[in-house]
Amino acid sequence: MSRFLNKRLKGVTPYVPGEQPKDGRIIKLNTNESPFGPSPQVAKRLKEMKGFHRYPDPSTQKATQAISRYYGLDPEQLLLGNGSDELLSFSFYAYGTKMIFPQITYGFYPVVARAFGEHFREIPLEKDLSINPKTYYNAGATVVLANPNAPTGLALKKKEIQGILENNRNNMVIVDEAYVDFGAESVVPLVGKYENLLVIQTFSKSRGLASMRIGLAMAQREIIDDLKRIKYSFNPYSVSGEALAAVEASLEDRLYFEKTTGEVAETRTWFSHEMRRLGHRVVESRANFVLVTGGKAYQEYLWSRGIMVRHFDKKPIADYVRITIGTREEMKKVVEVTEERYA
Ligand SMILES: *Cc1c(COP(=O)(O)O)cnc(C)c1O
């Protein structure tokens, strides 16, 4: 840290992303990526691309129109970003000052809030690790919820989020739907109805495009205009031409998307059942990962067998590990290796 750094940033502990191993033999189940990758149409489109010497379209018009058709929202209700982390940062900057979010949720939220010098309150989860929607009523602050939540995988119903929206007419409610495509209810259909709703999604998980950095914000026009104001004051070309082409190709291949997300959900059900059979408690997940008991010792054991999973050294989830759902083969290997531990 230099002595010139802004005082506000001196106390910030940056977010620590899950490791990216260099060794290809490792089974990587620690950062919730897709085991399948994007639709083959994406690679095809990228191969045909020309014009790398030109700036991408800062208004992202073509890709935005494709998203508009896909979700049935107006183009003015959409904004693409350099990953949803960028859009989350913009929204925290826009609607920060006072914020509340769960005590156990995406670890990036408190980091961004601190970086922008915002006050935030963390609400404990219920005993069963669920979120009680009523604890977010009349929050007097910007509400931030990941739905499904991470790293629990538990999801709120659309009705429950609607309750939070109804009871926060003067507060923004940001719903991070990074994992919604794996089996939770999206609140995108409520965008037209609530001026205080901002939905954020990503192409990193269910669309297998983590490396491309594509995030999507959906809200009423005034909210999107706020975010654009920040984008154009910050980094007008934040989404690359390659990423924009990938958005279009990915959305066009609906069949691949449904097949791969469906397969992840099936494997999740199978894997959860197997882990319970082996005596682990498993949180009922609607995401592409599951939280299972075992804690640090289990994480280290799996690591010694070449399987990367994530442990959070934080109450009340310190006794768990989070395991990303990979291919059926990979998950069979996890079950096998776990059985050997007890043999
Ligand atoms: C992975 C993740 C993100 C970040 O996604 P990017 O679009 O890759 O930046 C955002 N929110 C949650 C809850 C996530 O798990």
**CA 85 / ligand 1 centre spacing (Å):** 6
Task: Report pLDDT digits (tens) over 38-96.
Answer: 999 999 999 999 989 999 999 999 999 999 999 999 999 999 999 999 999 999 999 98
Interior CA angle at 339 toward 336 and 343, to 5°?
135
Q: Would you say the CB of residue 150 lies under 6 angstroms from ligand 1?
A: yes
pLDDT of residue 25: 82
Q: Which two tokens stand for residue 249?
A: 């190709």
**CA 4 / ligand 1 centre spacing (Å):** 31
pLDDT of residue 19: 72
**CA 31 / ligand 1 centre spacing (Å):** 10
pLDDT of residue 6: 84
The average pLDDT across 329-343 equals 94
The residue contributing the CA closest to ligand 1 atom 12 is 178
Q: Would you say the CB of residue 182 lies under 6 angstroms from ligand 1?
A: no
The residue contributing the CA closest to ligand 1 atom 15 is 178
The average pLDDT across 8-12 equals 82
Pocket test for ligand 1, best of 30, 84, 240 (most atoms within 8 A of CB): 84
Is the separation of the CB atoms in 142 and 98 below 8 Å? yes
Is the separation of the CB atoms in 11 and 115 below 8 Å? no
Pocket test for ligand 1, best of 87, 106, 149, 286 (most atoms within 8 A of CB): 106
pLDDT of residue 9: 83
The residue contributing the CA closest to ligand 1 atom 1 is 178
Check pLDDT > 80 for residue 226. yes
**CA 151 / ligand 1 centre spacing (Å):** 12
Q: Which two tokens stand for residue 181?
A: 């495509």
- Nearest ligand 1 atom, CA 86: 9
CA separation for the pair 164, 167 (Å, rounded): 5
Q: Which two tokens stand for residue 97?
A: 């000052």
pLDDT of residue 147: 98
Q: Would you say the CB of residue 238 lies under 6 angstroms from ligand 1?
A: no
Peptide bond into 38 cis (omega under 30): no
Q: Would you say the CB of residue 210 lies under 6 angstroms from ligand 1?
A: yes
The residue contributing the CA closest to ligand 1 atom 2 is 178
The phi-psi region of residue 276 (left if phi > 0; otherwise alpha if psi is between -120 and 50; otherwise beta) is alpha
- Nearest ligand 1 atom, CA 105: 13
Which residues, 6 or more positions from 343, have their beta carbon under 8 angstroms from its beta carbon? none
pLDDT of residue 343: 75
Average pLDDT value over all residues in the chain? 96
Q: In a 3-state reduction of DSSP, which class is residue 309?
A: coil
Q: In a 3-state reduction of DSSP, which class is residue 322?
A: strand
Give the burial class of 248: count Cβ atoms within 10 A of its Cβ; 0-12 exposed, 13-18 middle, 19 or more buried.
middle
CA separation for the pair 240, 57 (Å, rounded): 8
Interior CA angle at 270 toward 264 and 275, to 5°?
120
pLDDT band of 105, cuts 50, 70, 90: very high
Interior CA angle at 207 toward 204 and 211, to 5°?
40
Q: Would you say the CB of residue 84 lies under 6 angstroms from ligand 1?
A: yes
Check pLDDT > 90 for residue 3. no
- Nearest ligand 1 atom, CA 88: 10
pLDDT of residue 106: 97
Interior CA angle at 94 toward 110 and 194, to 5°?
100
pLDDT band of 201, cuts 50, 70, 90: very high
SS percent in the chain: helix, strand, coil, step 5:
40, 15, 45
pLDDT band of 145, cuts 50, 70, 90: very high
CB atoms within 10 A of CB 24: 6
- Nearest ligand 1 atom, CA 149: 13
**CA 288 / ligand 1 centre spacing (Å):** 12
How many CA atoms are closer than 13 Å to the CA of 286, on its beta-carbon side?
18
pLDDT band of 1, cuts 50, 70, 90: confident
